[in-house]
Amino acid sequence: MSRRVWLRSFSAVASAALLTSVASMPAASGSAVAAPGLATAPLTGLAAGANPDGTTTVVLPVTGDSWVNSLGPTSGQSTSPELQVGSTNLGLSKSRSFLDFDYSALAAIPQGAVVTSAELRLSNFATGACAGTAVRASRITGTWTIDGLKWSKQPAVTATGSATSTASYGASACPDEGMVTFDATAIASAWVQGSARLGIQLRADKESAASSYRKFRSQEAADPATAPTLTVTYDSYPATPTALTVTPGVNSYASSLTPTFTAAVTDPDGGSLRGFFEVRKGTTPTSPVVWSGASDPVPSGGTASVTMPAGVLVDGTVYSVAAYGHDGVLKSKTPAAKAFKTDVTPPAAAVVTSDVFTDGQWLNPMPASASFTLDGSADTGGFEVTVDGTVLPLVAADASGDDTFTWQPVPGWHTLGVVPLDKAGNRGAATTFSFGTGTPAFAAPTEWQGSTGDFPVYMSAPPNAVRAALLWHVAGETTWHVAGQVTRDDSAWDGSVTNDSGHSTPGALVWHAALEPLGSGTLSAPALVQIRGCFQYPSGAIACTANRLVQLVEG
């Protein structure tokens, strides 16, 4: 007989469902919810030669088959077109058959892969009874050769992992011929795990019964389609997922009762797989499962994602999530795991105090420095702080939820905004702390600010002023002019001010510098202009800002 190597992968004609149930998933208890989607949608994008369910099937061709009889022929029938098993004469003479295979295809099975199924198929065309008794397929453990096989020189076999079939064809009351299948999963698994690869024996369990007799087509059958075949289907365990996240939230907190879990999943066989996520109330392996769910299929190496439904998690409770890769047949041996605590309650608003300033008041003279204390609730992890609209780097809270920082004040009116963030990232209500210090000051325009015509103006001063004015002169001159081309809310400003929250201000103004009269014309670019703002008080006292330079530039 010819000996050849033949590795063939099977592809199903139609896409099979990923799973018909989640029975292979971890058992859930309590109020667990079945993983959605696993029962219906097939995996796609599989590696070449893979089955739709993520497994791979190879064929081990028969390299030799033979049978022997206890009375004759006692020598092997290696060229016979049939294989005989059992007895036709109440056991006076008994037949047994032996098959050997080309095992080279097993070398393609990756280390750590699992044989999920194996089938030995033979075409049965004669039987002693349609209601046949069992024929057993056993793994051969002793050395033998096709040419050296004799009844007196049969190789040893093991019952471990053997399988039987009672199917019978070829009698008058049953079909003339049919395919008989033996479950060879345990046999193939033993070969993959290192047991000697010496073939399979076929033997009747009751060799004295006529119902044990069978004739099967051999490798030498006239029709190759009826020759024996051995198929082995294997699968590799997906790797332990990586980069497990729980969002939204920070650290080990979830700031939502419907968080999204993500993890990178990889299958050594390639193709696509799902992430399977299991949530337990608690952090031990025996903690009760409260929910489990599967992601949509993703390519191997991709990120699987699934979002929990509402009504499962409870605020303020510690849970753990385990993430597995699942290729439709096998899931990761070891999960990625992460503990998290739910926290969807925002922290209380912070209380802001200062060692020198009082909220809503102006302090003059200006202190050399000032400290501010942010008093948050115990679960506060940090603060978002703004000073006059400028966002500062995130301020971390201490173990009590508080923080103290110093700030070098500058003249003018200032507003400190504070938003507490708890350890889960929840944002509390904003607190503002407003104060003024020193002499009157500009908030706008900035020093050296340039414009082709208009400048925004915002200035503030200690409270109780009755009116204010904007003054200007061209740099190098000494005579100040009262700006007359100033508007507020698109109307001419009359110099009025408001006294609210501890300071005086005319509000947001616009100075139309290019319209200011100068000589026989108007102020024109290019020009470097010095400005100042002055406030008048009931006593007649006048307080002014420091001078500020701005640039009128050509358009």
Q: Which CATH number fits domain 441-552: 2.60.40.10, 3.40.50.300, 3.40.47.10, 3.20.20.30?
A: 2.60.40.10
Residue 505 has pLDDT above 80, yes or no: yes
Strand order in the sheet with 370-375: 351-354, 370-375, 402-407
Question: What is the Cα–Cα distance from 417 to 384, expressed in whole angstroms?
Answer: 8
Question: Tokens in use for 216?
Answer: 């099967």
User: Superfamily assignment of 351-437 in CATH?
Assistant: Immunoglobulins (2.60.40.10)
Q: Does the fold of domain 441-552 match that of domain 242-342?
A: yes
Pair of tokens at residue 551:
């640039």
Minimal CA–CA distance to 229: which of 354, 120, 141, 317?
120
Beta pairing partners, 96: 68
Span 185-213, average pLDDT = 97
pLDDT at 91: 92
> What is 242-342's CATH number?
2.60.40.10
Across 342-361, average pLDDT: 96
Q: How many CB atoms within 10 Å of residue 124?
A: 26
Residues 455-494 pLDDT 10s: 999 999 999 999 999 999 999 999 999 999 999 999 999 9
- For position 27, what pLDDT does the model report? 34
CA–CA distance, 290 with 262 (Å, rounded to integer): 18
* pLDDT number for residue 352: 98
- What value does the mean pLDDT take over residues 50-79? 90
**What is the distance between the alpha carbons of residues 255 and 424, in angstroms, rounded to a whole number?**
5
In the chain, % of residues over pLDDT 90: 85
Residue 542, SS3?
strand
Question: What was the pLDDT predicted at 373?
Answer: 97
- What does the pLDDT read at residue 16? 27
Q: What is the mean pLDDT of the chain?
A: 90
Q: Give this prediction's pTM.
A: 0.68
Q: How sure is the predictor about 53, in pLDDT bands with cuts at 50, 70 and 90?
A: confident
> CA-CA distance, 298 to 292, in Å (whole number)?
18
The average pLDDT across 165-171 equals 96
Mean pLDDT of 58-75: 93
Number of Cβ within a 10 Å radius of residue 13:
6
Distances (CA, A) of 69 to 21, 75, 78, 88, 207: 47, 8, 13, 11, 11
**Tens of pLDDT along 93-124?**
999 999 999 999 999 888 889 999 999 999 99
Burial of 356 (0-12, 13-18, 19+ CB in 10 A): middle
Element spanning 455, H or E: strand 454-460
DSSP, res 386: E
Ranges of each domain in the chain: 56-235, 242-342, 351-437, 441-552
Q: Which residue has the higher pLDDT, 23 or 421?
A: 421
Residues sharing a CB contact under 8 Å with residue 468, sequence separation 6 or more, in sequence order: 459, 461, 495, 497, 504, 506, 533, 534, 535, 536
Residue 37 has pLDDT above 60, yes or no: no
260, two tokens? 């999204």
